[in-house]
Structure 1
Amino acid sequence: METSIFNYGELPEFKKFTSDRINKEFPSVIDKINLEFKNIENFLSNYLNQKNLDWDKVINPLNEVNEILRWSWGVISHLNGVKNSESLREIYSKFLPEIINLSNKFGQSKIIYKALVKLKETNNFDKVKSRILDKEILEMEHRGISLNIDDQKEFNVISEKLGKLSTNFSNNVLDATNAWFLILNDKSQIEGLPERVLELMSISAHEYLKKEGEADPKNGPWKLSLDIPTYTAFMTYAKDRNLRENLYKAFVSRASNGKNNNCQIIEEILSLRTKQANLLGYESWAELSLSTKMANKIKNVEKLLEELRKPAFKTAKNELEKLNKFSKENGFPPFEALEAWDISYWSEILRKEELNLDQESLRPWFPLNDVLKGLFNLSENLFEIKVVEATNEAPVWNDDVLYFNILNKDDNKIASFYLDPYSRPESKRGGAWMDECLNKNNHGRNILPVAYLVCNQTPPSKDKPSLMSFDEVQTLFHEFGHGLQHMLTTVNLPQAAGINNVEWDAVELPSQFMENWCFHKKTLLNIAKHYETGERLSDENFEKLVKNRTFNCGMATLRQLHFAITDLRIHSNIKSNKDKNSEEIRKEIARDTTVINPIQEDKFLCCFSHIFAGGYSAGYYSYKWAEVLSADAFSMFEEADLENNQNIKKIGKKFKDTVLSLGGSFSPLEVFKLFRGREPKTDSLIRHLGLSSVTQEACQ
């Protein structure tokens, strides 16, 4: 008899997770969880008669059953993101209502709620346990525990609808991205594109057309599509302006028409979120969302975003004027204005002239293996760990996936992680993310933390390894930062270990902190080595990359602020929103957050998965909020002299012992102050963004 594929606490046997086996075996997991839930309720109903309640007797059984659910559904969700198929989608959609129902049962159990409240009232716990209990109680209140029966029923119906709508939203984006393509046959259409992009496009065309023989990058045909590596390269390098326009319009209008239409889904999601927030006594979804975040109130977020918007807007306007002038001097039609599909192209030409930097030409200095070695060496120096590849030890979901162990300074294994580096547009959702495979747990059996790190970088070609753009290098550092917080936790209570219990707007601190090291000379020059010759990146090219960090920084910052302000506003119940749909609200916001107004076809909200299918609803500002923390944290290393390795190691250990180790055991502000010795300041971020020259004047 076959053993079950659902073995909580172990590494998943991914290739055994076929649609048939999931369909057959997952119902028994749900049955087991339901039975455990009943047992817990029965025990607690009697135990509540005791004068004092014990932490282990209340909390440990709840954590165990929640972890079984998280692990089991987590494997299915993970595969749905990295190995998407029609059959897996059907399974995901089929079981999602049951998962939401289970979640609501736990969250709305009056017996569990009473036990948590009494546990807090009858004990004098330390700050860590008190914080965990406060968050658990608040979370139950946010799941509707205090609602009357009718309101609770409505709340649960809304939860189920929101789950389905988010899944449909995500599927529509993936399908719309894959559905649009052009087969190019004329060499003039691909003029300006780098060789490695032509290789990928020709291989894609060859596979699509089912041609015999080998793909021909020089003579085509080439398949132009909306996957990020192709889209970004084409918008940056392709000389054919008409094709850039077509590609841009297709990209920003994804999932906004036809059968993959998210327009109505967005309005339904926003309406249902508002209803759910109102049921819980909040004026808006934004108010509900922020009640559990570090920022706490809408006005605090608006203050930070406005502090950044003013200097960014002024800088962006200057950058656009400069780009307009430059383009006219170099052949752009004199009486035409630059459009959105011209910005990346002309910016790259200006970058080459102004900085003498050709980003594409630097890819050979960033082969994946060398970037990983440099990243691991940096982590070893800062955090007293070793990273050792162990791919043969772990089952993987794709042959490109790598697996690594983290060892402490005594060579004991303390954690592991998977790395899925390459873009697979046909089956893997876009973007990059870190997720939990296994959480640290010292209760019952010793479970070490294991992370999923997922990127979508340029895959290797026939005769070349994966040669990364500098942006892809930063993305890898970013996701590894998330992984470090999950893996280096020293908190023994699983509810607050790693990223658990960390406020959402502080969770980006370690990831954005790690990105800063890409601009540290010694770190980068240890990484950047030509994949063929072994030649190190020159000091000159390093300085160009540092200068490039603030190139068009105003437009880049403004873009993120546009998304953050739009997200916050469409989730806020304010008078100016009345009788307007989300797109109308966004276009209104665009007047102060863009220097090129969105075109009619721009329906970017329809593919804004972060806020409609991810966890960032009324929380997209978190990137900027946490960037303040990360820039200020990194400035402590700068102040100690980045070239003084003894000082850097000392501060690195302090960062590990606070930000990376303490997880959600204390509030983010307390953790930050333990590391930095004071509250965070915005100065370092404004300096890193290159906005310092306009800040003083703009903020007066």
Structure 2
Amino acid sequence: MKQVMPLVRLMFLGSVAVRAFSRSSTVRSFYRTSAVSMTTASVTTINPLLQQDGLPRFAEIEPKDLTPAVEDLLQQLEHDFQELETKLSASTDNIEYEAVLPQVERMQFPIGYTWGVAGHLNAVKNGDELREAYQANQPKIVKALTQFKQSQPVFAALSAIAEKQKVEDDSFYAQQKKRAVENSLRSMKLGGVGLEGEAKETFNNMKMRLAELATKFSNNVLDETKAFSLTLTDASQMDGVPDSAKAMWANAHVNFVKQNGEEKDVELDVEKGPWRITLDMPSYIAVMSHMKDRTVREQVYKAYLQRASSDERNNTPIIYETLKLKNSMAKMLGFDNYAEQSLSSKMAPSVEAVRELTDLIAAKALPAAEKELAEITVLAREKGGDEYSELKHWDVTYWSERLKESKFELTEEETRPYFALPAVLDGMFQLVSRIFDIDVQSADGEEQVWHPDVRFFKVFDKESGKHIASFFLDPYSRPENKRGGAWMNVCIGKSEACNRDTPVAYLTCNGSPPVGTKPSLMTFREVTTLFHEFGHGLQHMLTTATVGDVAGISGVEWDAVELPSQFMENWLFDKSTVYGFAKHWETGAPMPEEMFDKLEKQRMYGTGMATCRQLVFGQIDLELHSAFDAEAGEKGAGESIFDVQRRISSKYVPYMMPLPEDRFLCSFSHIFAGGYAAGYYSYKWAEVMSADAFAAFEEVGLDNEEEVKKVGRKFRDTVLSLGGGVEPMEVFKQFRGREPRPDALLRHNGLE
């Protein structure tokens, strides 16, 4: 499993109303006289969150703008929605699709635009004032969404439309509308449209509480990550640490002192320090991979795994309450448990089907993982002495890196100079130009951004020359106000109803920042993360679907949405692709062929342990949401959440059981503050499809440029084009000619 946060994080999940909010688009500049009198106020005084003709005015937006914007837009939304319900209540006999879903899209886009921007800034520019405003307005948004999901007139109208859509029409446009209606009806059922009276009130209160808990969970993790730091001053502790890590830590110390200390003229000294270690991912990974001092590794490892597990930021009670609420709500909707409810809108047919795939892969991965650990242990004992008679959790990554270096005679630091971010971007854009017939061009300065490091790009179709999409890229770690991980999110979604034809994405990473005059020199895993997020962005940006609720990533089943992202990662082992950007940042010399060969051989290194780690997380997630008794666990009358973690680990990672003090679940934001509850298995489920999809390119020969272009065009016209407008298995079959097989995944991971 990659060390990232959820790779696609929609603002909410659920009905058509929810998805419309997630796309964060609007049809027009939303100047309402209830907020600003156009006769008495100049344009310059208009709330920037209400200026929605173009992209967000990030340089002008302030936290104080959020509440008045939300209140104004919700007032107008309530008025518009009441009018719609009145019309629909009159009669559904001759109701047409155009009278319902497009209307809903149009009326919801203004508030979706505003709330989407707020959510984005809350993740990348978090601060006390914005957090307070966001939390204060969240209940209002949840309430408005719930009203849409539980609207009987809308549900009745959509049900009538669904009956009419049973008439065969194979056109893509008809399929989009049918899928949009089907998805909306299912989501409204899951949103409680069938509940009445006290049950409905209870359900809605639970939903409101869940939203509060998710936000609190995320805030606790962010605050705990920011709160920890370890400053080292002994140069001997830097023995064996690469220059890039020392520079990162020294730079972190200088920045911290300048921002928080009295000494404003502190100078950067990479060799003498001090060095400030934090828990943001680049810093944490550097410690685990390169810090020879075992006590430092232990301290940082335990701090990372114990985030948000004690005192006022303890997420343990939040987890129990979240699990109880989700289980209760699922039962109110007629499901046995939340996992069953979650899977009702995914590709996987059942919890058992997920377990079967998990066990199939585990049967191959577990023996490989145990063999890998045995090799690491032998090296640690040989090189580290008696203190490594037993490997601890904080030893594994460190000695794994040393074994990899000895096996392949290649260190991560040797490759960094060939992975400068500007060159990597150019190479990635060359790849998609070659296989997808698009041009990506820098457009820095054309739109406002939220931080000087953020870049803006435009995407053009090469055949027509048309500007078809855009995206923002926020590449670097900022632990002081940006949550960890990497993700793609929607800024503007494609929508015929709202006259939006140019989708815009947010691509957010937490990579190594530039130090001094050096550009960002990336690790290979950071390059992989960038390609991954760009894959998500491509599905959003290259969609040809025009029905907003199924355009791009909207309406795509959760366990299929990782297909394009994981597919893009495979190209990092294609020589022609890598040589499109792997040039030394100072000399411009290409990466030596011997280095690439070693990098390629490293692909299968450690895949057994990495696979088992991902499998165990997925199964812990499913167990907690299907069979776990949270009520008993919280009271101490049954298994605790940590007992479940240990029990599932004993099956999938018996070679490295969690420490007694392991509290990883308290920072498992994927399932407790993101969209992956009872869905974390999706990474591996989609990886089967992504590996099989890449195999289509391998079968024609990666060096056969003409055939690769043909397959690439087919991939664009199916997987990247159809969005949620076609059921994902059908999309895959249109591309591959058959259903997916796990053979390619096992082969790529050396687990055949």
Aligned to 2:118: 76
* SS state at 1:678 partner: coil
* SS state at 1:532 partner: coil
Aligned to 2:526: 472
- Deviations along 1:146-193, whole A, 9 cap, x unmatched? 012111111100101100000000000011111111121111222222
Aligned to 1:100: 142
Cα offset for 1:98? Answer: 0.8
Cα offset for 1:334? Answer: 6.2
Aligned to 1:662: 722
Q: Does 1:585 align with 2:641?
A: no
**Is residue 438–residue 447 contact of structure 1 (8 Å, CA) maintained in 2?**
no
Cα offset for 1:488? Answer: 0.4
* Amino acid in the other structure paired with 1:283: D
Aligned to 2:47: 4
Range moving further from structure 2, 140-149 or 622-631: 140-149
Give the whole-Å Cα distance in 1 for the aligned partners of 2:520 and 2:388.
Answer: 42
Cα offset for 1:625? Answer: 0.3
Give the whole-Å Cα distance in 1 for the aligned partners of 2:266 and 2:466.
Answer: 50
Aligned to 2:335: 282
Give the whole-Å Cα distance in 1 for the aligned partners of 2:57 and 2:388.
Answer: 61
Aligned to 2:251: 203
Q: Map 1:247-262 onto structure 2 (within 5 A).
A: 247-262=300-315
Q: Map 1:229-248 onto structure 2 (within 5 A).
A: 229-248=282-301
Cα offset for 1:52? Answer: 1.9
Q: Map 1:584-603 onto structure 2 (within 5 A).
A: 584-594=643-653, 595-603=655-663
* Amino acid in the other structure paired with 1:476: L
Cα offset for 1:33? Answer: 1.4
Give the whole-Å Cα distance in 1 for the aligned partners of 2:249 and 2:596.
Answer: 30
* Amino acid in the other structure paired with 1:34: E
Give the whole-Å Cα distance in 1 for the aligned partners of 2:730 and 2:287.
Answer: 45
Q: What 5-or-longer segments of structure 2 have no aligned partner?
A: 1-40
Range moving further from structure 2, 534-543 or 64-73: 64-73
Aligned to 2:316: 263
**Is residue 53–residue 122 contact of structure 1 (8 Å, CA) maintained in 2?**
no
Cα offset for 1:286? Answer: 0.5
Give the whole-Å Cα distance in 1 for the aligned partners of 2:505 and 2:129.
Answer: 26
Give the whole-Å Cα distance in 2 for the aligned partners of 1:414 and 1:47.
Answer: 40
Range moving further from structure 2, 575-584 or 102-111: 575-584
Instruction: Give identity over the alignment, percent.
Output: 44
* Amino acid in the other structure paired with 2:649: A
Range moving further from structure 2, 507-516 or 23-32: 23-32
Range moving further from structure 2, 637-646 or 187-196: 187-196
**Is residue 251–residue 515 contact of structure 2 (8 Å, CA) maintained in 1?**
no
Q: Map 1:436-515 onto structure 2 (within 5 A).
A: 436-515=490-569
Give the whole-Å Cα distance in 2 for the aligned partners of 1:384 and 1:333.
Answer: 58
Give the whole-Å Cα distance in 1 for the aligned partners of 2:162 and 2:377.
Answer: 63
Give the whole-Å Cα distance in 2 for the aligned partners of 1:335 and 1:539.
Answer: 36
Q: Does 1:115 align with 2:123?
A: no
Aligned to 2:687: 627
Aligned to 2:428: 375
* Partner residue of 1:27 out of 51, 66, 71: 71
Cα offset for 1:335? Answer: 6.7
Give the whole-Å Cα distance in 2 for the aligned partners of 1:15 and 1:75.
Answer: 12
**Is residue 180–residue 226 contact of structure 1 (8 Å, CA) maintained in 2?**
yes
Cα offset for 1:501? Answer: 0.8
Cα offset for 1:3? Answer: 2.2
Give the whole-Å Cα distance in 2 for the aligned partners of 1:518 and 1:616.
Answer: 26
* Amino acid in the other structure paired with 1:687: R
Aligned to 1:695: none
**Is residue 150–residue 192 contact of structure 2 (8 Å, CA) maintained in 1?**
yes
Q: Map 1:207-606 onto structure 2 (within 5 A).
A: 207-209=255-257, 210=261, 211=263, 212-333=265-386, 336-409=389-462, 410-573=464-627, 579-594=638-653, 595-606=655-666
Task: List structure 1 runs of 4+ shifted beyond 4 angstroms.
Answer: 574-578
Cα offset for 1:200? Answer: 2.0
Aligned to 2:204: 156
* Amino acid in the other structure paired with 1:387: V
Aligned to 1:698: none
Give the whole-Å Cα distance in 1 for the aligned partners of 2:546 and 2:351.
Answer: 34
User: Normalization by structure 2: what TM-score?
Assistant: 0.90
Give the whole-Å Cα distance in 1 for the aligned partners of 2:231 and 2:225.
Answer: 15
- Deviations along 1:68-101, whole A, 9 cap, x unmatched? 3322211000000000001111111101111110
**Is residue 176–residue 545 contact of structure 2 (8 Å, CA) maintained in 1?**
no
Give the whole-Å Cα distance in 2 for the aligned partners of 1:528 and 1:289.
Answer: 42
Q: Does 1:61 align with 2:115?
A: no
Give the whole-Å Cα distance in 1 for the aligned partners of 2:497 and 2:333.
Answer: 34
* SS state at 1:477 partner: helix
Range moving further from structure 2, 491-500 or 638-647: 491-500
- Deviations along 1:243-280, whole A, 9 cap, x unmatched? 11111011111111122111111111111110111110
Give the whole-Å Cα distance in 2 for the aligned partners of 1:334 and 1:15.
Answer: 54
Give the whole-Å Cα distance in 2 for the aligned partners of 1:392 and 1:207.
Answer: 26
**Is residue 469–residue 542 contact of structure 2 (8 Å, CA) maintained in 1?**
yes
Cα offset for 1:543? Answer: 1.3
The CA RMSD measured in Å over matched residues stands at 1.4
Aligned residues: 690
Give the whole-Å Cα distance in 2 for the aligned partners of 1:284 and 1:444.
Answer: 37
Greater RCO, CA 8 A, separation 6+: 2
Give the whole-Å Cα distance in 2 for the aligned partners of 1:589 and 1:237.
Answer: 30
Give the whole-Å Cα distance in 2 for the aligned partners of 1:207 and 1:671.
Answer: 49
Give the whole-Å Cα distance in 2 for the aligned partners of 1:191 and 1:154.
Answer: 59
User: Normalization by structure 1: what TM-score?
Assistant: 0.97
Give the whole-Å Cα distance in 2 for the aligned partners of 1:402 and 1:102.
Answer: 34
* Amino acid in the other structure paired with 1:169: F
* SS state at 1:325 partner: helix
* SS state at 2:725 partner: coil
* Partner residue of 1:189 out of 237, 240, 252: 237
* SS state at 2:666 partner: helix
Cα offset for 1:457? Answer: 0.3
Cα offset for 1:444? Answer: 5.0
Give the whole-Å Cα distance in 1 for the aligned partners of 2:620 and 2:52.
Answer: 40
* Amino acid in the other structure paired with 2:364: P
Give the whole-Å Cα distance in 1 for the aligned partners of 2:204 and 2:405.
Answer: 56
Range moving further from structure 2, 538-547 or 82-91: 538-547
- Deviations along 1:350-382, whole A, 9 cap, x unmatched? 111111110122111011111000000100111
Cα offset for 1:478? Answer: 0.5
Cα offset for 1:120? Answer: 1.7
- Deviations along 1:426-472, whole A, 9 cap, x unmatched? 10000000000001122353441000000000000111001111111
* Amino acid in the other structure paired with 2:233: N
